[in-house]
Amino acid sequence: MIYNTFAVYDNTLGFSAGNENNLQVENGADGTTTAPCVKAFLRDMRSYAASCTGSVRQVPIGLDIADIPPREQWISYYDCSVDDDENTRAEWMGFNP
């Protein structure tokens, strides 16, 4: 697994669950967001990392999003937990201008 391979290096600062995940996929006039799938992927990545505790160092897992409105809603969405599961929250977020 990539996580296990890179987590041993001190210069690995974080893992990204995706890039510009808040952009819409063209699907009719309104488009479709991939956010729920990305949030599930984030949960799975964080759950896997938690299962590696003790064997490799813990590295934060987050995502990069496009710096477009509504920024506050994107931040809130990726910062909130689902069903009180902390693994559904991003540990860091980056913004691409």
Tell me the per-residue pLDDT of 62-81, one tens digit each, with 9 for 90 and over. 999 888 888 899 899 999 99
In the predicted model, residues of the chain with pLDDT beneath 50 are none
| Residue pointed to by tokens 């991003």 | 90
Predicted TM-score of the model (pTM): 0.85
Coil vs helix vs strand at 32? strand
User: Is residue 65 within 8 Å of 78, Cβ to Cβ?
Assistant: yes
